[in-house]
Structure 1
């Protein structure tokens, strides 16, 4: 198991060992080597911008934040074991930005047993919203809302023959519920519904079905390379079908993996445009990124940025030497604007966070709205 420890210390402060205070330990289990590693790395970059900035100002109540990150390769079993190590052995105060729907679900028993909050899971699974998961605090909107809006968009622009490729896992089933709401409202049914293995889809079986159905558009519900390789296979048949996918693929790495097949692909978004520098949140992220050097903003980076801002604010309000119980109490009554009116609101009955959905189209190697 590969362990990546990230320490964020500001050289300008040059604190001596004698003056150094105990660190606030945060844990993360995510895919750093598998099919969504490119997106995860961008999310981590956004998270690091916040933590590095906070630590450079002396930390929270004089304590620096240390993030312990473990690679799970998008395997739910590894996610559960990583989280056990982080919670029981490393004694982290909270988990942050764990990636993947099955992965997050696998960790919930550990959260409930230990009273550890999971902040900003990098998934829009409805199962993390309803029924209420008392230790999970979502920051982004749900996949169901994204998928519903995706189908509505396709119908609005005149598409009637819409196919769906669905990852055959809890993430795919969850998103498909939202897609079917969109189909029902449009008075349509999918011309093809192809189930795909989460990590190794059978493109030789899937793509001919899409071509034979003469699909005008394909809603591709999957992650990372499972989608990019599928789109390439579809384009290799000569199909010009509009491809639309969900925000879990809203990363610069996704565009790079698509290569020449990226043009015209629509990707759902759950935060304002990373190019909209007039937005206070985006401006803040851009300024911190520029100070670090050549770091390009992306939707995935912004997701990590916002989730970590929420965590930092909760830690501040929890007071010196925050415990899991103190942090949980603060989160359950948190009202916080991370920038530009994107209010995060939690209560003991609702841990939904920000409710925002938009879409973008890839053009010239960038997301455009």
Structure 2
């Protein structure tokens, strides 16, 4: 990702309309809601790289600065922030949006203003459909395929925890298609939905236990996945029921879960990770 960012900036600095000394990169992302902890870590890495670039003279002698605004995982706020960054702050590119709904809102603004969006943090198919977006990570479908391949070694009953939005709903439909077409060993026994900013997933955990599923694909944000993992562990222990194996995508936060919940809760649950 760092080489793509540098090369893109090199081209942009030669065509930017602003005569300011600094090259401004704009970012709207979640710094106060369900993905705030991950975004702070992500930005720490991005800022460390920009510090290195600037220490070496910047881009053709011009320092690069990241201007970040909080959208609290709201598509409406993300759209407004993108307009502010482009129109008022005169950024030459947008960078590091988080989440499918906010990113799609930003893509629309970027397309209208012919401004590139670099490295959005989403694996949604929509980021590959726009000429102004430069994705650097694998798609969510790729992650899901690897999960299904992993669990299909032997016959298994699968339930899916679905975040009701543009991230979770399309992926659930993809899981339905893939299990029917490619994975006859996987018996899809049910779908349990929740709203994106739900903080208490105990009812959903109980519903999945009642389905007697052996595995779960949890399509959820970091905060909701943390709640689901905690409640599933507690309910299974209290009832004497076998806890299903919980597969989680790359948008969850394994490090935070391990720190907050402990090894007994997260142990044995696969977490998909994306490089870079």
TM range (shorter): 0.7 to 0.9
3-state SS of 1:26 partner: strand
Structure with a larger share of its residues in helix: 2
Matches within 5 A, 1:1-369: 22-129=21-128, 132-156=129-153, 158-184=154-180, 185-187=182-184, 188-200=186-198, 203-238=201-236, 239-250=242-253, 252-260=255-263, 261-271=265-275, 303=276
Distance in 1 separating the partners of 2:202 and 2:254:
26
TM-score normalised over the length of structure 1: 0.64
Distance 1:251 1:204, change over 3 A: closer
3-state SS of 2:156 partner: coil
| Alpha-carbon shift at residue 136 of structure 1 (Å) | 1.1
3-state SS of 1:248 partner: coil
Q: Which runs of 4+ in 1 moved over 3 A?
A: 257-260
Distance in 2 separating the partners of 1:159 and 1:37:
38
Q: Is the 8 A contact 2:162 2:219 kept in 1?
A: yes
Q: Which runs of 5+ in 1 are unaligned?
A: 1-20, 272-302, 304-369
Q: Which runs of 5+ in 2 are unaligned?
A: 1-19, 237-241
Q: Is the 8 A contact 1:28 1:68 kept in 2?
A: yes
Q: Is the 8 A contact 1:247 1:267 kept in 2?
A: yes
The number of equivalent residue pairs is 249
Structure with the bigger RCO (C-alpha within 8 Å, sep 6+) is 1
Alpha-carbon RMSD? 1.7
Q: Can you list the C-alpha shifts for 1:228-266, whole angstroms capped at 9, x where unaligned?
A: 101111111114211101011255234334435222221
